[in-house]
């Protein structure tokens, strides 16, 4: 479908390594012996410059809930680009997108747009600290909130392999506390005696950067209660789950309303975007309404705004039910296949998120996830890749289904997975 380059992935990677650190622009994209280079994507299919096509369950690590190049999004963006790509003055689309987000996301009454999820969590932490007058923040081992200093403590995603990056002064992260997901006692202990120094708990309602770990029964309700009792702000990092689990994200799906939410990935409709949203009372502290500084040359740029808005317009209840159905079918199918095999495994994920862990025990937190057989996982990854299925090249990422997938794709994926899994042990 797409024309490849004269150079194949292997040569392109050699060339890339001379000018891009590690040959890629973001760490997780690199895998051995070399990543494939994209020639193009359409719907749920991603094509390489080597002329191979893949059913895509990576979907750019989450944003592409409508698949690649949805015609309506492409058309809306083309129309916008003709009229300019960024203005430096406000444009009406920003209001419309904010209104749409407020309409869907329970805790949102006001929105600040920025350019990435990283920026959104950075702003959320600053706002929480300013609002509460406290410095300490709590995150979970294995949660990923972007690549900025304050949150790169026991992180997930590409950093799960080498946590706690050099170059971050100890002083910068001395106020970043970590604890164990799904463990109420550990949280109670942490807050005990220190509760009045903690500005916020920052949590991925479904941990999506250490594979895929769901919150256990009422764990999010517990976080809601414990934060309220201690005047701590509860921040849901919904950069993955926002507009994915449901129109209102995880806070709708699990019926727990946080104080603030960070959004990214899907909200930009395939273009760079991040957003911070919450109640007026807190959000009005952001400059220029208030004094908490946040700014960006490309904030609310009309291209990302247009793509995001069109994407949210297309996403409807029928799509969410269909995504849920495909996810359940795929997870049940994988469990069926694996139950016939001599492998230790867990199949995880809600709605259109999924992952296999090659481990014996249920995965409830970071430590459990780290017990998985990552070598076996990479064999599984390469087996799928050889047969035309692309999932993220890491045990510690999450796989996604898009609205462009159909049951037929899911069923052929299960057939391919059966072949791969049956050959894994030898």
CB atoms within 10 A of CB 303: 21
Q: Which of 54, 139, 265, 320 is catalytic?
A: 265
12, two tokens: 């392109």
Q: Smallest gap, in angstroms, from Cβ of residue 63 to ligand PLP?
A: 8
Residue 57 or residue 345: which is nearer to ligand PLP going by CB? 57
Q: Which strands form 346-348's sheet, in the order they lie side by side?
A: 346-348, 353-357, 399-400
Which tokens go with 414? Answer: 């299960």
Q: Out of 144, 219, 320, 345, which one is annotated catalytic? A: 144
CB count in 10 Å sphere of residue 197: 15
Minimum distance, C-beta of residue 27 to ligand PLP, in the bound complex (Å): 11
Q: Nearest distance from residue 408's CB to ligand PLP, in Å? A: 29
Radius of gyration of the chain (CA): 21
Q: Whats the size of the chain, residue-wise?
A: 426
CA-CA distance, 283 to 289, in Å (whole number)? 9
Choice between 27 and 279, CB closer to ligand PLP: 27
Residue from 139, 219, 237, 253 carrying the catalytic annotation = 237
Q: For residues 108 and 208, is the Cβ–Cβ distance under 8 A?
A: no
Decide whether 206 or 334 has the Cβ nearer to ligand PLP.
206
* Least Cβ distance, residue 240 to ligand PLP (angstroms): 4
DSSP state string for 315-356 = --HHHHHHHHHHHHHHHHHHHHHHHTSS---EEE-STTEEEE
The residue (of 5 and 25) whose beta carbon lies closer to ligand PLP is: 25
Q: Is position 57 annotated as part of the catalytic site?
A: no
Binding site for ligand PLP (CB under 6 A): 116-118, 121, 144-146, 204, 208-209, 237, 239-240, 264, 274
β-pairing, 198-203 with 233-237?
Answer: parallel
Q: How many CB atoms lie within 10 A of CB 129?
A: 19
Q: Give DSSP secondary structure letters for 99-146.
A: HHHHHHSTT-SEEEEES-HHHHHHHHHHHHHHHHT--EEEEETT----
Residue 204 CB, shortest distance to ligand PLP, in Å, is: 5
- Measured from the CB atom, the residue of 153 and 240 that comes closer to ligand PLP is 240
Cα separation of 135 and 152, whole Å? 16
Shorter beta-carbon distance to ligand PLP: residue 29 or 370: 29
237 is catalytic: yes
Closest CA to 372 of 384, 385, 355: 355
Residue of closest CB approach to ligand PLP: 117
**Rounded to the nearest whole angstrom, what is the least distance from the CB of residue 191 to ligand PLP in the complex?**
23
In the complex, minimum distance from the CB of residue 185 to ligand PLP, in angstroms, rounded to a whole number: 25
- Closer of 12 and 122 to ligand PLP (Cβ): 122
Q: Which residues are catalytic?
A: 144, 237, 265
């Amino acid at each position: 479908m797409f024309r490849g380059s004269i150079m194949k992935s292997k040569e392109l990677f050699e060339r890339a390594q001379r000018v891009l650190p590690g040959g890629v622009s973001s760490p997780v994209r690199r895998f051995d012996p070399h990543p494939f280079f994209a020639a193009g994507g359409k719907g749920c299919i991603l094509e390489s410059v080597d002329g191979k096509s893949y059913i895509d369950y990576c979907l750019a690590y989450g944003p592409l809930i409508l698949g690649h190049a949805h015609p309506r999004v492409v058309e809306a963006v083309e129309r916008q680009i003709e009229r300019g790509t960024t203005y430096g003055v406000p444009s009406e689309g920003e209001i419309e997108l904010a209104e749409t987000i407020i309409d869907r996301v329970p805790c949102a009454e006001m929105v600040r747009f920025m350019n990435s999820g990283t920026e959104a969590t950075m702003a959320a932490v600053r706002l929480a600290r300013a609002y509460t007058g406290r410095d300490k923040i709590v995150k979970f081992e294995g949660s990923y909130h972007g690549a900025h200093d304050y949150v790169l403590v026991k992180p997930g995603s590409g950093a799960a392999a080498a946590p706690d990056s050099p170059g971050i002064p100890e002083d910068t992260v001395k106020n970043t506390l970590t604890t164990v997901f799904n463990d109420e006692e550990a949280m109670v202990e942490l807050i005990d005696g220190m509760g009045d120094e903690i500005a916020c708990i920052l949590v991925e309602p479904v941990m999506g950067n250490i594979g895929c770990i769901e919150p256990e029964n009422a764990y999010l309700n517990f976080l809601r209660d414990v934060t309220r009792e201690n005047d701590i702000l509860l921040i849901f990092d919904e950069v993955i789950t926002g507009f994915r689990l449901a129109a209102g994200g995880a806070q709708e799906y699990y019926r727990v309303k946080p104080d603030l939410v960070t959004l990214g990935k899907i909200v930009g409709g395939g273009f760079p975007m991040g957003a911070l949203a919450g109640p007026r009372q807190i959000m009005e502290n952001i400059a220029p309404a208030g004094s908490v500084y946040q700014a960006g040359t490309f904030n609310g740029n009309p291209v990302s705004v247009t793509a995001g808005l069109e994407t949210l317009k297309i996403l409807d209840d029928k799509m969410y039910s269909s995504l849920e159905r495909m996810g359940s079918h795929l997870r049940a199918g994988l469990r069926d296949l694996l139950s016939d095999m001599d492998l230790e495994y867990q199949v995880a994920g809600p709605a259109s998120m999924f992952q296999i862990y090659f481990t014996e025990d249920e995965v409830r937190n970071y430590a459990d996830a780290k017990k998985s057989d990552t070598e076996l996982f990479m064999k599984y990854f390469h087996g799928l890749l050889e047969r035309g299925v692309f999932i993220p090249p890491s045990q510690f990422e999450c796989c996604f289904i898009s609205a462009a997938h159909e049951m037929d794709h899911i069923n052929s994926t299960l057939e391919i997975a059966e072949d791969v899994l049956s050959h894994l042990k030898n």
